[in-house]
Structure 1
Amino acid sequence: MRVVTWNCNGAFRKKFSAVKNLNADIFIIQECEDPKTVNDEGYSKFASNYLWVGYKNKGLGIFVKEGVVLKNCEWESYGLEWFISCTINDNLNLIGIWACGNYIEDIYVYLKIHFKKLEALKNLLICGDFNSNSCWDKGHKIRTHSAVVKDLESFNLHSCYHCKENEFQGMESNPTFYLHKREDKSYHIDYSDFFGQSSINP
């Protein structure tokens, strides 16, 4: 099963063909518009099997291939931005994330709210745009990136990137974001995937 996550930076209806050719089974797309509000035949066809949450024309979408059984678990988010809890083929548990309100603090609170449910799940994948890094821990109190990583590890969830690259949190060699598009202000923040060792075949 191939999974792709991407912050499309808006106007996904004009960009979906760029990822469609990746032939993924699951797309987790941040900053995309709700397909129901878009009059575009190509986008509507691509988004025939999806879940979406957001505000006005920007949100978080999970799009899957036809034939894939996508079910919304409808976990309450209590105004936190933005989360989708769902299952794939009644087997894989997926939490999609676009942290855009209070960023890592919203993720921290969401995990605490649903801690018992997450603890009981098997075959769990959490992925999306975390907009965070442990280098900014001091800017928060207890709701930090490092605290979120620790909670995820208590569920036996580990970062795909950090496992693959054998790097530590906060010491990443590959940036994913350039503040104001400046190379001297590069950070690794955008794409994080946390997976259970027993659930994903690399």
Structure 2
Amino acid sequence: MKILTWNCNGAFRKKYQEIERFQADLYVIQECENPEHTKGEYRNWAGSYLWYGDNKNKGIGIFAKNGVEIQRLDWKDNSLQLFLPVRVNNQFNMIGVWTKQANSPTFRYIGQLWKYLELHKEKMAAGSTVLCGDLNSNKIWDVWDRWWNHSDVVRELDAVNMQSLYHLATGEEQGSESAPTLYLQRNLKKAYHIDFAFASEGMFNPQKDTITVGSHNPWLEFSDHAPVIFTIAC
């Protein structure tokens, strides 16, 4: 199965054609509009989808193609932002992620994911799970006296047998990624790897499966993020 995750930087109704060529089975899109509140080709393209957000113009959507079936999972989020958990083909769970500041004075961005894992890591450990999206985080921003750093989240995921597919495939270390996924303010000198895909053990075989990160050219024409495309066994 092929999955694409991308922070489209808004106005996805004008950009969805750019990702169609990947012919993915699932598209996990951050900062996209709710198709329910749009008209025309985007709404038709959305087809089978689930969407979540507190702003109809910028939320997180999961779009299923090629006969793939998705069902919303009733996993509470305690107002953490933003997480969209779904069941895929009744075979595995997938959590679409777009971490936000969430008006939290302490647990912002990666802290939101840390708290979400505390709620659901037992369920994630119990079955095959994929977690992917814009984490707004990297090991380079770890703070020495904080217990919910990026590295802490990676360890929490490892404890439930989930690993970063990019790092499995490349052998690179967290914080030393050679392929950026974000170009802050579309500046090539402000390049960071903050979009990730994690999966349970056995779902990704580096000898057979692939993960790729889009280049700044042409993606900066459409967003400050590049898409991450990966395959899994299911």
Partner of 1:199: 203
Q: Which has the higher contact order (CA 8 A, sep 6+)?
A: 2
Percent identity between the aligned chains? 41
Partner of 1:52: 51
What is the identity, as a one-letter code, of the residue corresponding to 2:124? Answer: L
TM-score under structure 2 length normalisation: 0.81
CA distance in 2, matches of 1:66, 1:45: 15
2:174 match: secondary structure: coil
Partner of 1:116: 122
Partner of 1:4: 4
CA distance in 1, matches of 2:169, 2:155: 18
Tell me how far 1:79 sits from its aligned partner: 0.8
What is the identity, as a one-letter code, of the residue corresponding to 1:92? Answer: F
Tell me how far 1:66 sits from its aligned partner: 5.2
Q: Pick from 160, 169, 179 the counterpart of residue 174 of structure 2.
A: 169
Partner of 1:91: 91
Alignment length, in residue pairs?
199
What is the identity, as a one-letter code, of the residue corresponding to 1:196? Answer: S
Partner of 1:132: 137
What is the identity, as a one-letter code, of the residue corresponding to 2:198? Answer: F
Deviations 1:83-135 (A, max 9, x none): 011111100211110112221000000000112211212x2111111110011
2:117 match: secondary structure: helix
CA distance in 2, matches of 1:115, 1:187: 27
Verify the 8 A CA contact 2:182 2:193 in the aligned structure 1.
yes
Task: Indicate whether 1:181 and 2:186 are aligned.
Answer: yes
CA distance in 1, matches of 2:66, 2:170: 33
CA distance in 2, matches of 1:76, 1:49: 23
CA distance in 1, matches of 2:5, 2:14: 17
1:169 match: secondary structure: coil
2:62 match: secondary structure: strand
1:30 match: secondary structure: strand
CA distance in 2, matches of 1:67, 1:179: 36
Q: Which runs of 4+ in 1 moved over 4 A?
A: none
Tell me how far 1:60 sits from its aligned partner: 0.4
Verify the 8 A CA contact 1:71 1:87 in the aligned structure 2.
yes
Task: Indicate whether 1:23 and 2:20 are aligned.
Answer: no
Task: Indicate whether 1:104 and 2:110 are aligned.
Answer: yes
Partner of 2:69: 69
87-96 or 136-145, larger mean C-alpha shift: 136-145
Verify the 8 A CA contact 2:34 2:58 in the aligned structure 1.
yes
Verify the 8 A CA contact 1:49 1:66 in the aligned structure 2.
no
2:199 match: secondary structure: strand
1:147 match: secondary structure: helix
What is the identity, as a one-letter code, of the residue corresponding to 1:154? Answer: A
TM-score under structure 1 length normalisation: 0.93
Partner of 2:38: 38
Structure 2 gaps of 5+ residues are 102-107, 210-234
1:62 match: secondary structure: strand
Verify the 8 A CA contact 1:48 1:66 in the aligned structure 2.
no
